[in-house]
Amino acid sequence: MKKTLVAMAIAAAFVPAVAMAEAGDIVVRLRATHVSPDESSDLGKQTNNVYGSTTLANTVYGSNNAELRVDSNTIPELDFSYYITKNIAAELILALGTRHDVSVSGSGGILNKRGLGSVNLLPPTLTLQWHFMPDQTFDPYVGAGLSYVRAMDNSLTARTALGDLPIRVDRNAWGPAIQAGFDYNLQDKWLINVDVKKIWFDTDVKLNALGAAGLPVGYRKIDSLDVDPWVVSVGFGKKF
């Protein structure tokens, strides 16, 4: 029995330590992040209300069920976590920006299923996390916080037989964020991370349409687009 215990102690001494969290630790992660918008749009109804059915039918959409669609995209993402205590960490996500193609669908009008261009969204997000098992190899966590979404390169164009009609994503936005994920702690303070976030935010969409005389009438709000993306990340990190 004594020989067995001694052998186990010697073996344990040569096993590299797994990266467990402590207060004051900083974790740097590099992840592949898939941003999948769960958008909600009332484009046709709002455009009809703003410009009137005659203008609507003759320019862009043609029916009340027109909607904006925002495609998914996958980007590299860098984030930092600071452990306030062993169980509580603050995470800041720094992404270079995620570009999404924007199109119109369901309109029955002259832009039905046509692309309008793309918009670049910059979504830095700060969350506060609770880590359930920071002393274990498998450490699940949940978190909540805020995201500030900045719309860049945000000029879209509706190319119609009547000419190009400028469309603009006009507003940066704050939105709540929740998350769940886990760190799988490895040797030498390395770890594997899987993370899922849900972010809620909306932005104003404005159209510079043509009036009855065929002249631009100025930008007017035509939609409050709820983007509300799911953000799924997989990557690796290191504790310092």
What CATH number does the domain containing 107 carry?
2.40.160.20
Is there a domain that residue 3 lies in?
no
**SS3 assignment, position 37:** coil
What's the first-to-final CA gap in the chain, in angstroms?
A: 39
pLDDT at position 15 is 42
What number is the average pLDDT over the span 177-205? 94
Higher pLDDT, 25 or 61: 25
The answer to which of 17-21, 38-42, 161-165 has the lowest mean pLDDT is 17-21
The answer to which of 6-15, 101-110, 202-211, 220-229 has the lowest mean pLDDT is 6-15
Residue 112 domain boundaries? 19-239
**Number of domains into which the chain is organized:** 1
Instruction: Tell me what percent of the residues of the chain surpass a pLDDT of 70.
Output: 68
Is there a domain that residue 8 lies in?
no
pLDDT at position 227 is 83
The tokens 């918009």 sit on which residue? Answer: 119
Whether residue 58 has pLDDT greater than 70: no
pTM for this prediction: 0.76
Per-residue pLDDT tens over the stretch 164-186: 777 777 767 889 999 999 999 99
Using a CB cutoff of 8 Å and minimum separation of 24, what contacts does 155-160 make?
155/117, 156/102, 156/116, 156/117, 156/118, 156/119, 157/116, 157/117, 158/60, 158/104, 158/111, 158/114, 158/116, 158/207, 159/114, 160/59, 160/60, 160/110, 160/111
Is there a domain that residue 6 lies in?
no
